[in-house]
Chain A
Amino acid sequence: MKFFRGRRVLTASVLCVCALGQALAGTIDPRPTPADWAALAKLPDWSGTWVPNITDQSRRIKADPTPWNAAAARQIKAMEAEEDAGRPRGLFVNCLPEGMPSWMLISHNALEILFSPGRVTLLGESDGNRLRRIYTDGRGHAADPDPSFHGDSIGHWEGTTLVVDTVGVLPQSFIAVSESVGVPNNGDLHVIEHLYLAGPDTLHDDLEIIAPHVLSRPWKTTRIYYRQRAKKYEILEGVCLQGSFTDGKDKDGNAIFVPVPQIDGNPKPQ
């Protein structure tokens, strides 16, 4: 497997995670050793809250265009025309996760990155289900992963760069360039990312997006995040569907959520 060249490659028949030591037969997630915890201190410091460069996201729509295939390009053109006419078709108004790769491409919200032995975890904001588990324990992809919004992600460190390989993404998950322009990946999506510090407090995610059903060729693009450490930047809980409800009381005086009439993901004006 090219991705794990020079590394220990584990197969389904070798379930121990030897890189972490103390492996137990049948255990994929053994107790980390003191050395495993100490090794985290040698990784680059990605602590804090990372906020996206939204201006750059928008700039790249034209400066770094997505190589849609002909069929997708026709749909994109129609969506852009609708948005220009003030009739946007929101892609995410149902509150399902933006998923991969759209979360990384178009999010307007902050994220945080946690390191633990054998794993990197990305936690987002504005959507309670927005998280990515990236396994760095040397395992390969699951043989037949259940399709999911964020896919099956494995990673490894090349120096101070985290390389992430993602497959197993739901075909419905969008490749979006804005909140109203994008198409589902339609299956067989493969995303390769290189995440690294481009400056002391600037994180780059270089993405290569391979989507054979909607792209004419792999799309290489970059997204930029800035580190903040002030209290006001800490991630807040975000549950997308909460906006569809308001506070109320039931007949027994219990605090409950009461639905707010919605139109296309927005409160219905009077």
Chain B
Amino acid sequence: MAAALFLAGGLSWAVPCRAHHSFAMFDETKVMTVVGTVKDFQWVNPHVVLWVYTTPKDGGAPELWTIELTSPGNLTRVGWSRHTVAPGDKVSVEIAPLRNGSHGGGFRKLTITDTGKVLTSEFRDQERPGLQ
């Protein structure tokens, strides 16, 4: 496990919405924080994907983590764009880790290190009409 990853159990978060597959492969009872550098930010349907390199504490090779978000349409409605993050950005990302232990997870919260900007993807808050 990379030193840049922090795991907390038993937290209860609203389940992010995804449009393509069930989210059950992600362990929503756990929160892991992935700290590293963005390799790529893939702004496509059905899921936006954030690829982040982390550096293990023991000096091993960087690990590439694959973090899945909801669709570009749903993210746009909660303040994201395809320019929200870019390759090379330093980030801290809270995820629900994959249950199988692979280096990936479901997105919960992004903090952009240089600016301190925080973004989430919880669009169920918008289940009412006439929003701006």
Query: Which residues on A are within 8 Å of B, measured CB to CB?
Result: 51, 53-56, 83-84, 86-90, 92-93, 95, 107-110, 125-127, 178-181, 199-202, 226-230, 232-233, 235-236, 238-240, 242-243, 245-246, 260, 264-270
Contact = CB atoms under 8 A, between A and B. Distances in A.
Contacts of A264: 21
Nearest to A181: B22
B25 A201 contact: no
A interface majority secondary structure:
loop
Interface of B is mostly: loop
20 contacts: A54-B127, A83-B22, A92-B20, A93-B21, A95-B20, A95-B46, A107-B19, A108-B70, A109-B19, A179-B20, A180-B24, A227-B130, A236-B72, A238-B71, A238-B72, A240-B20, A264-B21, A266-B25, A267-B49, A267-B66
Given A88-B21, A226-B126, 16 more contacts: A54-B127, A87-B25, A88-B22, A89-B22, A95-B20, A108-B18, A109-B73, A181-B22, A226-B129, A229-B130, A245-B44, A266-B47, A266-B66, A267-B66, A270-B65, A270-B103
Interface of B: 17-25, 27, 40, 42, 44-47, 49, 63-66, 68, 70-74, 76-77, 98-99, 102-104, 124, 126-132
Contacts of A226: 126-129
Contacts of A229: 130
B46 A238 contact: yes
Q: Which 10 pairs from chain A and chain B are nearest by CB?
A: A201-B129, A88-B22, A180-B22, A90-B21, A269-B104, A269-B102, A238-B45, A88-B24, A86-B99, A226-B129
A256 B72 CA distance: 20
Nearest to B64: A270
A180 B21 CA distance: 7
A207 B20 CA distance: 23
A86 B25 contact: yes
B22 A178 contact: yes
A127 to B, nearest CB: 7
Contacts of A199: 129
A269 B77 contact: no
A28 B30 CA distance: 58
A179 to B, nearest CB: 5
Contacts of B73: 109-110, 125-126, 235-236, 238
Which of B73, B104, B131 lies at the interface centre, i.e. has the most chain A CB atoms within 10 A of its CB?
B73
B22 A243 contact: no
